[in-house]
Amino acid sequence: MITIYEQHELKKWVLQQKGDKRSIGFVPTMGYLHEGHLSLIKKAKEENDAVIVSIFVNPLQFGPNEDFDRYPRDIERDSRLAQEAGADLLFHPSVEVMYPFEPAVTVKVNRRADVLCGSSRIGHFDGVATVVAKLFHLTEPSRAYFGLKDAQQVAVIEAMTGDLNFPVEIVPCDTVREQDGLAKSSRNVFLTDEEREEAKVIYASLTEVKDLLLSGVNPLSAKEKLEELLKKKLTGTVDYAEILSYPELKEPSSDSTRLIAAAAVKYSKARLIDNVLIELTPDGKKEVENHV
């Protein structure tokens, strides 16, 4: 694996791969890699001739009071893990390389961004879409891999890719979980022992509500049950507990064929998100697997 820090060096490498007619799989990350990220890299390796992993903590997607400076960073560890998982190139630019000047143009997300995480993180998905658009242009991937732990991000990126005609296939990948169900996250390191033990309740509550939806309970009642379960069992602050259509992220209707049950919980030093997806079919209802 080689490590590149500059845009022109990355473009030169990509041009060589294209000249050799090699497909490129791309895994964008903010670093502090865990098993979830590594599963994306391994899948990209299985499906492409070459794999690029980016590590960049993007300031555009952090609000004024969020944890940009505190976000965990360990590039030596990340480099080793990315190489072991099968990455061929690690792109690790500085903020100055990605944004040498204040951007004159950014991407504005008009739909799918004003609910769930977007309702309290104003401008967050504009920052996500802007940096992903830049990275798509730099890496020119055949396929790009995103974890479904942040299913809202996947929905936004899928919409941006289609609307702006990026020639890249978006590959959503299952959430990777701890044995007790907690979704793997770089921010889990900020949980106290007590918070870490309690956090498993988030996925357990989502699973219970999923079962209610599969049994025919209407989404409004299921949402009320999810709120009740989380507030009763958690000491953290429930940021949201929602049942929405997916990927539209709107209030469900009788025509909705796919739903997302999603939650976010704030602890002392970490904000955790999780979700499950449920597909409604003409022959009945079945869960869309969102964990391994």
Confidence of residue 282 (pLDDT cuts 50, 70, 90): low
Beta strand pairing status for 258-266 and 284-288?
unpaired
- Could you tell me the pLDDT band of residue 289, with boundaries at 50, 70 and 90? very low
Distance CA 63, CA 120 (A): 10
Q: What domains can be seen in the chain, in order of their start residue?
A: 2-173 (3.40.50.620), 186-288 (3.30.1300.10)
Place 292 in a pLDDT band, splitting at 50, 70 and 90.
Answer: very low
Burial 237-256 (b: 16+ CB within 10 A, else e): ebbbbbbbbbbbbeebeeeb
User: pTM of the predicted model, to two decimals?
Assistant: 0.92
What does the pLDDT look like over 91-126, one tens digit per residue? 999 999 999 999 999 999 999 999 999 998 899 999
Name the residues annotated as catalytic. 37
- 138 known member of a binding site: no
Give the per-residue pLDDT at 281. 66
- The answer to whether residue 83 scores a pLDDT higher than 60 is yes
Residue 35 marked in a binding site = yes
Annotated binding-site residue? 37 = yes
Does residue 70 have a pLDDT over 80?
Answer: yes
Which tens digits make up the pLDDT trace of 42-58?
A: 999 999 999 999 999 99
> Is position 291 annotated in a ligand binding site?
no
Rounded Cα distance between 239 and 265, Å, is 5
